[in-house]
A and B are shown apart, each in its own frame.
Chain A
């Protein structure tokens, strides 16, 4: 008995023990996962379930772009926002009628109450930064020589005229026009900043409840990226609660159709359930969060888990009636299926596990746990299925398989006949089939070149979803509801005290000269100031420290000064403060004008509908200070004038608004860009436009520019995902190829087995490109999985082909045999998994639809590719394939060994590149050395004594 028989024998003998242990483990895992989740406080040592619906977590928390995003959000007191759009198309004055405005006022007041205490902290809507007609200031002319600050809408208006006046006022303010009010006057948006975006669904639901109480012509739309993301998270779980059980039911029904014996098909269902429970249990126990990706784990494990069981049952089904002995039948079945099942499981697992090569944590977790689930399912299948069969009473199995024979006949008439003619066809028309395949490949390659890499969390909802509708309507009326921020940061110069002193003293001398006429003491005082500066600068580490010391000394001097020199010291103190302010670059008119030009460049993309900046605020205040004349909408000419516009602005109700655009040290500023589209490709275009603009028009002072905001984070992780997925795909391709080469002990056969899946992936992605479907997260993730799943069919087909060829001798005779039972098994599997994934189409969330559709297509296409292309290729390559039969052991065939080695080197290189961040240049050099070395070792290995013996043995065996 070999090891596989031992295992089967053990579980047949000890079937009760096996079952008890299995049940015990399952219950233990369930308890460990569930109990700390239900009573997290009582079981602090264990991890409760963590739900993570935040797409930001597609990037690790320490990713530079996220750190920068959070830092800038903090420095500029920016929050993620829920956007409530109110549209009135029915009233001639749009939303600007007393009734609608009264509702908006009420909704604003209501949203101020949306905060709660969570872990002792106040969370919810940030009232001070709420943007609504009743919470923003209007600045305008208030009579001759008067500038007026007032709430835009302190109370809801009572008359038509008052209502229209609000529109007219708001549209005069650039910050509000296109942001708060639409240019057509039909809509108003209110912006609710949140302390944390995870609250957005809660806020969303509360607002919905409130809105339901309003009567009026207006429509309410709630949107904003946080709402989309958070709502998606909530709906995702509802979806999974529906989709996973539906998939279960569908698979169950299908199997019932195939085998017609309830008692037998229950066992695969148990295997599937237990695999899911164990995998998800371990995921939770290990403390990994359940993310959008990991929520899909059950639906992936289930169909794959039942596959192996189907094989066992199929075989058992075929053979049972021959012996009527459960034990003997089972031993025979397991003996035949052990290796193919191991390989199909390993390859599927490898396909998923390769996702660990992507730099996206949720995808890594997903890949590894699905891989784990597949292996758990494999272990369960080989241990539990035989044990389960022992529980089934022989009487129950009495008719089992007996019904099957006429049934089998039916099959050969329906599916069987089609398969048979395919088999014959592939033999007769091998070359035409291959020619068509070549054309398909060319079209697919063209299709792939058309692939549009893009994602948009809002488009995760289907078109009729309220969030999707809101998104469409509001972006028609406004400058855009997707926020991205362009941060401009002054570059810090290194502090060199000598340079500092030199510069300071030069300025001081110049000033002293100017002052001489009015202040006779100026020369003396400024001389003393220079001495103070030298001392202070030499003992300081930074510009800030130096100025602190100088200011301090000058203040002392001023306070002790006698009447004759006090004025001169006052001038000196003023001079010091002026010098200190010189690095406040965002008061520099040139910099603000540059900012305005950047905004212009943003608008020219046609994607940014509106932007807001410090330059807008300063220009608006300047205009109102000069009688509200349009030509005065400009940046004043000196930095003092800019500062004085700002201080005027700060005398409003919302003094803090300035700090959303610039930091109090005036060294960092950000432009708010409102995009009308949340598509990553559009954000990418905007980023590109600004890169180009800045390259052509360098800023007047050294400035760093960097994007932040959720829209920008999305494109960063998308870029990582695309390159990461490509690496994952190449990685898993190499792994599977290596495994195939080892399985068949031939590189040629290994290569052959990779062809159907390669063509499948080519076709699928070609179609994705041709039909214009965006290459988004689910599409990207699928490539690696497709590989793991599709290779299964090749394995079964080729393993059986080789076995049968050895008894038939020619492919002509083998083909019809292959297209009998083995082809039927493959077809059956294609149907079970493809249909098993179809419940995903019921989900109203598009990523699930995409996954469902694509997986079903992948399985169908790869099934077809296996059954059409492989036999055609074998027909053409018959001599080559079956000539090299003598070889045994990968090390004994020089070519196979060399190819395997190169594969291994490439695999290691990819892994190193991904994890150890080793550059490609270095890896290339290492590979250049490693490959010849390995090739030589291969040559030596294949000339070993052992190989000769093995080869001879093989020859004898075949004889």
Chain B
């Protein structure tokens, strides 16, 4: 067993974060922990890497059922239910154990999102191969048209199936795309300001993340536009320890311009279940691997 995975989690892994439960918990027990962590001062790069790992790279694979509730400004709701599978590309140079300890690790990933509901999109699949060195590959399988289609987009800031989350919020934004700056450190949080290196590819001017200092879960992210106005907010509403990994089980993205929001609720979250890489192929879009989807 060369690769023992330390952290896991995927879950449509948005920017992970700390919700009410965990915040309260750490505040109670936190004083001692505070002091010990206070001792070593982390560099900005270290904070960025740890956060990225907690958000997107916990465990070597994972699965979760996701309930998506999209609410618009008039309080009209739509629901979607999907099952999401994730598989991380192992780094050939590292053992699993080494990989788990290396916070800077961030390799390719494969993601498979299977739609259960609404009934008319049942069996629709959205698949991503996330690459670090080139544009991601994305596929869509539309069962009613019996069609497998590659989707290409010049940027990753498009809506994820009509929700207020962007595709990039789900797959993870590369840490290399932004310049990171630690604006302040509060008792519980690091506040990181991220400014894009290429502002033409994104709609925000910068975004600020509130990172829990102990768990490195992102509790809140605020996006600002060119007029320095906050227009979009991500919040972690609930965090659970699953297989010893801090896992966001409820998250909300609000569009402050339209006053709509999307809430994602995760259930059946599992890490390190040994998903085979082979299911993340075009062949399995039409014939999904049932055993992982239950």
Q: Which A residues are within 8 Å of any B CB, using their own CB?
A: 74-75, 77, 113, 126-128, 142-143, 145-151, 154-155, 566, 574, 577-578, 580-581, 587, 622, 625-626, 636, 638-645, 647-648, 650-653, 655-656, 658-659, 663-665
Query: Can you offer 25 A-B residue contacts whose CB atoms are under 8 A?
Result: A113-B227, A128-B255, A142-B150, A143-B150, A145-B148, A146-B149, A566-B294, A578-B119, A580-B119, A581-B120, A638-B144, A640-B121, A640-B144, A643-B121, A644-B143, A644-B144, A647-B161, A647-B162, A648-B140, A648-B142, A650-B161, A651-B158, A655-B159, A656-B258, A665-B76
Considering the chains assembled together, what is the distance between the CA atoms of A148 and B155 in angstroms? 11
CB contact list, B141-166 vs A, under 8 A: 142-145, 147-155, 157-163
Contact status B118-A641, CB under 8 Å: no
Residue of B with least CB distance to A127: B257
Contact status B145-A625, CB under 8 Å: yes
* Interface flag for B200 (CB, 8 Å): yes
Besides the known contacts A128-B255, A142-B152, A656-B260, 20 further A-B residue pairs in the complex with CB atoms under 8 A apart = A126-B257, A128-B258, A143-B150, A147-B152, A149-B152, A574-B117, A574-B119, A578-B119, A578-B120, A581-B118, A638-B144, A640-B119, A640-B121, A640-B143, A641-B142, A641-B144, A644-B120, A647-B162, A648-B149, A655-B163
Which residues on the A side are within 8 Å of B77 (C-beta)? Answer: 664
Contact status B74-A581, CB under 8 Å: no
Contact status B145-A664, CB under 8 Å: no
Residue of B with least CB distance to A637: B144
Considering the chains assembled together, what is the distance between the CA atoms of A638 and B159 in angstroms? 25
* Interface flag for B101 (CB, 8 Å): no
Given contacts A127-B257, A648-B140, A650-B161, contact A643 B120 (CB under 8 A): yes
Considering the chains assembled together, what is the distance between the CA atoms of A580 and B148 in angstroms? 27
Which residues on the B side are within 8 Å of A74 (C-beta)? Answer: 74
Given contacts A643-B144, A655-B159, contact A147 B150 (CB under 8 A): yes
Contact status B124-A644, CB under 8 Å: yes
**Nearest 10 CB-CB pairs, A to B?**
A650-B162, A655-B159, A640-B144, A643-B120, A577-B119, A641-B144, A142-B152, A146-B150, A644-B142, A578-B119
CB contact list, B249-294 vs A, under 8 A: 255, 257-258, 260, 294
CB contact list, B39-79 vs A, under 8 A: 72-74, 76-78
Residue of B with least CB distance to A638: B144
| Most-contacted residue by chain A among B117, B122, B142 (CB, 10 A) | B142
Residue of B with least CB distance to A148: B152
Contact status A155-B200, CB under 8 Å: yes
Interface code B159-200, partner A: CB below 8 Å = 1, 0 otherwise? 111110001000000000000000000000000000000001
How many residues from B make CB contacts under 8 Å with A?
42
Given contacts A127-B257, A142-B152, contact A641 B200 (CB under 8 A): no
Which residues on the A side are within 8 Å of B150 (C-beta)? Answer: 142-143, 145-147
Considering the chains assembled together, what is the distance between the CA atoms of A566 and B290 in angstroms? 13
Smallest beta-carbon distance A548→chain B, Å: 12
Contact status A652-B159, CB under 8 Å: yes
Considering the chains assembled together, what is the distance between the CA atoms of A625 and B122 in angstroms? 18
Smallest beta-carbon distance A184→chain B, Å: 28
Which residues on the A side are within 8 Å of B294 (C-beta)? Answer: 566
Contact status B74-A655, CB under 8 Å: no
Considering the chains assembled together, what is the distance between the CA atoms of A359 and B257 in angstroms? 39
Contact status B74-A75, CB under 8 Å: yes
Our count of residue pairs bridging A and B at CB distance below 8 angstroms stands at 127
Given contacts A147-B150, A147-B151, A655-B162, contact A640 B76 (CB under 8 A): no
Contact status A647-B121, CB under 8 Å: yes
Contact status A664-B76, CB under 8 Å: yes
- Name the one of A142, A150, A643 contacting B118, with C-beta atoms under 8 angstroms: A643
Given contacts A577-B118, A625-B147, contact A154 B154 (CB under 8 A): yes
Smallest beta-carbon distance A640→chain B, Å: 4
Smallest beta-carbon distance A293→chain B, Å: 35
Which residues on the A side are within 8 Å of B144 (C-beta)? Answer: 636, 638, 640-641, 643-644
Contact status A146-B120, CB under 8 Å: no
Contact status B162-A574, CB under 8 Å: no
CB contact list, B88-142 vs A, under 8 A: 117-122, 124, 140, 142
Considering the chains assembled together, what is the distance between the CA atoms of A127 and B260 in angstroms? 15
Residue of A with least CB distance to B137: A146
Given contacts A638-B144, A665-B76, contact A653 B159 (CB under 8 A): yes
Contact status B76-A653, CB under 8 Å: no
Smallest beta-carbon distance B226→chain A, Å: 8
Considering the chains assembled together, what is the distance between the CA atoms of A636 and B147 in angstroms? 12
Which residues on the B side are within 8 Å of A640 (C-beta)? Answer: 119-122, 143-144
| Most-contacted residue by chain A among B73, B119, B150, B260 (CB, 10 A) | B119
- Name the one of B155, B160, B227 contacting A651, with C-beta atoms under 8 angstroms: B160
Which residues on the B side are within 8 Å of A566 (C-beta)? Answer: 294
Residue of B with least CB distance to A648: B140
Considering the chains assembled together, what is the distance between the CA atoms of A574 and B140 in angstroms? 21
Contact status B154-A151, CB under 8 Å: yes
| Most-contacted residue by chain A among B74, B144, B151 (CB, 10 A) | B144
Considering the chains assembled together, what is the distance between the CA atoms of A659 and B162 in angstroms? 10
Which residues on the A side are within 8 Å of B163 (C-beta)? Answer: 655
Considering the chains assembled together, what is the distance between the CA atoms of A658 and B77 in angstroms? 15
Residue of B with least CB distance to A155: B200
Considering the chains assembled together, what is the distance between the CA atoms of A663 and B76 in angstroms? 9
Contact status B161-A639, CB under 8 Å: no
Which residues on the A side are within 8 Å of B78 (C-beta)? Answer: 664
Contact status A150-B119, CB under 8 Å: no
Contact status B158-A146, CB under 8 Å: no
| Most-contacted residue by chain B among A128, A566, A643, A665 (CB, 10 A) | A643
- Name the one of B72, B121, B151 contacting A664, with C-beta atoms under 8 angstroms: B72
Contact status B149-A650, CB under 8 Å: no
Contact status A581-B119, CB under 8 Å: yes
Contact status B145-A644, CB under 8 Å: yes
Which residues on the B side are within 8 Å of A146 (C-beta)? Answer: 149-152
Smallest beta-carbon distance B58→chain A, Å: 26
Smallest beta-carbon distance B267→chain A, Å: 10
Considering the chains assembled together, what is the distance between the CA atoms of A647 and B154 in angstroms? 19
Which residues on the A side are within 8 Å of B120 (C-beta)? Answer: 578, 581, 587, 639-640, 642-644
Contact status A653-B157, CB under 8 Å: yes
Given contacts A625-B145, A640-B143, contact A150 B153 (CB under 8 A): yes
Residue of B with least CB distance to A559: B267
Residue of A with least CB distance to B147: A625
Considering the chains assembled together, what is the distance between the CA atoms of A626 and B148 in angstroms? 10
Residue of A with least CB distance to B294: A566
Residue of A with least CB distance to B76: A664
Given contacts A113-B227, A648-B140, A656-B258, contact A148 B121 (CB under 8 A): no
Smallest beta-carbon distance B199→chain A, Å: 11
Residue of A with least CB distance to B78: A664
Considering the chains assembled together, what is the distance between the CA atoms of A61 and B148 in angstroms? 52
Contact status A659-B72, CB under 8 Å: yes
Smallest beta-carbon distance B196→chain A, Å: 14
Residue of B with least CB distance to A74: B74
Residue of A with least CB distance to B70: A664
Smallest beta-carbon distance A192→chain B, Å: 15
Which residues on the A side are within 8 Å of B118 (C-beta)? Answer: 577, 581, 643
Smallest beta-carbon distance A390→chain B, Å: 68
Considering the chains assembled together, what is the distance between the CA atoms of A639 and B145 in angstroms? 11
Smallest beta-carbon distance B202→chain A, Å: 11
Considering the chains assembled together, what is the distance between the CA atoms of A143 and B157 in angstroms? 21
Considering the chains assembled together, what is the distance between the CA atoms of A145 and B151 in angstroms? 9
Considering the chains assembled together, what is the distance between the CA atoms of A642 and B124 in angstroms? 13
Considering the chains assembled together, what is the distance between the CA atoms of A642 and B145 in angstroms? 9
Contact status B142-A574, CB under 8 Å: no
Residue of B with least CB distance to A641: B144
Considering the chains assembled together, what is the distance between the CA atoms of A787 and B111 in angstroms? 80
Smallest beta-carbon distance A637→chain B, Å: 9
Given contacts A145-B150, A150-B154, contact A651 B119 (CB under 8 A): no
Considering the chains assembled together, what is the distance between the CA atoms of A434 and B219 in angstroms? 93
Smallest beta-carbon distance A206→chain B, Å: 15
Considering the chains assembled together, what is the distance between the CA atoms of A194 and B169 in angstroms? 30
Which residues on the A side are within 8 Å of B147 (C-beta)? Answer: 625-626
